[in-house]
Amino acid sequence: MLVQEFPSHLVYEHLRWSIFNGIAHYGDDGTGHCRIAHPAICPAVEHDDDLTAFQGLRLRYAVQTKAWIDKGEFVPAQREREVTETEVSEQFIRIESPVRHIIDYPPARFLAPTAIDKVQCIVRATTTNQRCNNTVFDPERPEGHWEQVDIPMPSGRAGAATLWAGQKMWVYSLTALYTDAWRRWRYQRCTAHESTTAPDATMDEWLRFETLRHSEFIVYDRPEDLYKRKIESGASLFRPSPGRYKCANCTNRSYEPQSKDWLCWQCAPVAARRERVHAKWRSDPPPPVF
């Protein structure tokens, strides 16, 4: 409650309070004066009402409070910092390696609990009733590739003061995957449990990547290629990175070799329809305009 009393006819009825024997009571006490609760005029509270009669009083208290703070006569209470989803998730993640890679599937980036080829499936195996020992990464099924991207700048004043502007980091890009294939990675399942209905043994261990919070895991040097194999002659050969063949009109990519003018499944129908329209106009041109 505010210390001073106010004439009741100047205060809205639903904001009138009175004090009797040290106890606050809602409404006035019939003396023609009442008190006002502090939150009604507090400058630290966001007021969504339209009480024009209180605007001047709120402004006066805001100016007075700022003067007290500047003089050190009043120290406002510190607001508790909100706990982020990442902080809660990290409490349940088992970290097995100091190396933690980042996967990229725009617009999302996730931090893995370990190296990308060591991420373990979280499904409960029906044979052992324990967590599956397989990895999400399948060396026989190329789905991603290493790609260098800009380090995302954190928002706000904290991001403006960082030294990451213009720097690059290496991420394991899964941009060439369709939604179903990406869902297997997002739910942290191996290829054997890709479409299973078995329950999970634990929660998934991906964390949304935050530059400031996870800066120690940023990879500046290109990691080793994950897809290495031997040809019959015995010479080493690197499998081409998946998604290296790009659509001529958009950013979609293909695993299989394609020509330079190749169109993806989205652009091909559009180009065919456009060609049919052009062919129609060529065969049946419009009449000349005089």
Q: How many CB atoms lie within 10 A of CB 210?
A: 14
Burial (0-12, 13-18, 19+ Cβ within 10 Å), 205: buried
pTM of the model: 0.49
- Please give the pLDDT value at position 160: 55
- Please give the pLDDT value at position 170: 92
- Please give the pLDDT value at position 95: 67
Euclidean distance between CA atoms 105 and 149, whole angstroms? 12
- Please give the pLDDT value at position 236: 38
Per-residue model confidence as pLDDT tens for the chain (290 residues): 777 888 888 887 888 888 888 888 888 778 888 888 888 878 777 766 666 667 777 888 888 888 888 888 777 766 665 555 556 556 566 666 788 999 999 888 999 988 998 899 999 988 888 899 999 998 887 788 899 998 887 665 555 555 666 788 999 999 888 888 899 999 999 988 888 888 888 888 888 898 888 888 899 888 887 765 433 334 333 344 444 677 888 777 776 777 888 888 788 888 888 887 777 777 666 666 55
